[in-house]
Amino acid sequence: MLTEVDEGVLVSESEFISSNSVAVQGRDGVLLIDPGITGDEMSALANDLRTLGQPVVAGFSTHPDWDHVLWHANFGDVPRYGTARCAASIHNLLSNEDWQDRVAEGLPPEYAGDIPMELLGLITGLPAGAAQLPWDGPDIRIIEHQAHAPGHAALLIEERGVLVAGDMLSDILMPFLDLEAADPMEDYLAALRLFESLPDGVIVIPGHGSVGGAGQLRARIDQDRAYVQDLRDTGATDDPRVGPSAPLDWLPEVHRWQVSRLTQEEPNDSPG
């Protein structure tokens, strides 16, 4: 079901970790950002848009994680964009003959059979450093940074005051760092500083979790910054997203894994 969070900005939430698909109305149809997750959910989203008389005219992936580069045939054969680094990362994965097996290793078992793989990752990289999304709709600023994943980008729908944040600024997930980066903690803090320059009244749509209304941007920035600083300083945190009442019971394990990787105590595979 689509919910309008601001004029011409609609959100559909998946059962999988409260994943948010975002549709932005343009002159001739919608820009679809990070659609997912199951085939049935995407088909229903396409039907809802069709009912509204809003065909999909373009797509955008905020970053190259599998759950943000999905697509469904019912959305149509339209341009699908990502940053240059995002596109390079997913294209590198797809160049391997066993790419489907590699992706399958990270899929949640309860959804794996329902996630369509045929159109995964078929995105076009925008020119390096591109600051605006090329489409016939409201001006959308690309805020690229290197937190969480290569070429991660948030999108600011400027005239609507809405930030589509990708896998950041979530109320249910603590920061997931790109542990393959040279300085993952500084990358994350630098991205938060970029968000800090935005107006206070911006509405935040995270990749997972609830939409943050006007006035919540600062609180989410502060919470994510405190978590990263805790990782940097001691590895211990009182962040409720990884505490005894964590909204997802596997998050404390991911937190411990991040700490071990950052301290080089147990360089092992990701949990899950």
Tell me, what's the pLDDT at 263? 86
Q: Which residues are within 8 A (CB) of 49 and not within 5 positions of it... i.e. 6 or more apart? A: 2, 23, 30, 55, 56
pLDDT over 50 at 100, yes or no: yes
Condensed to tens digits (0 to 9), the pLDDT of residues 110-151 reads 988 999 999 999 999 999 999 999 999 999 999 999 999 999
6-15, 140-149, 247-256, 258-267: lowest mean pLDDT where? Answer: 258-267
Is the pLDDT reported for residue 48 higher than 50? yes
Angle between helices 217-233 and 251-263 (to 10 degrees): 50
146-272: same fold as 1-127? yes
| pLDDT at residue 42 in the model | 97
Architecture of domain 146-272: 4-Layer Sandwich (3.60)
Q: Mean pLDDT throughout 166-194?
A: 96
Q: Is the pLDDT of residue 188 over 60?
A: yes
Pick the range with the lowest mean pLDDT from 136-150, 188-202, 255-269. 255-269
Residue of 138, 132, 131 whose CA lies nearest to 160:
138
Task: Judge whether 45 and 35 are in contact, CB under 8 Å.
Answer: yes
Q: Given this model, what pLDDT does residue 271 score?
A: 55
Please state whether 183 falls in left (phi above 0), alpha (psi between -120 and 50) or beta: beta
What is the third-level CATH fold of 1-127?
Metallo-beta-lactamase; Chain A (3.60.15)
Predicted confidence (pLDDT) per residue in 1-30, tens digit: 899 999 999 999 999 999 999 999 999 999
In this prediction, residue 178 carries a pLDDT of 96
The rounded mean pLDDT for the chain is 94
- Determine if the peptide bond prior to 33 is cis (ω within 30°): no
* Count of helices and strands (H, E) across the chain: 6, 11
Each domain of the chain, given as residue ranges in start order, spans 1-127, 146-272
CB 40, CB 114: distance < 8 Å: yes
pLDDT band at 272 (very low <50, low <70, confident <90, very high): very low
Structure confidence at residue 266 as a pLDDT band (50, 70, 90): very low
pLDDT at residue number 264: 76
Q: How confident is the model at residue 214 (pLDDT cuts 50, 70, 90)?
A: confident
pLDDT (mean) for 70-92: 98
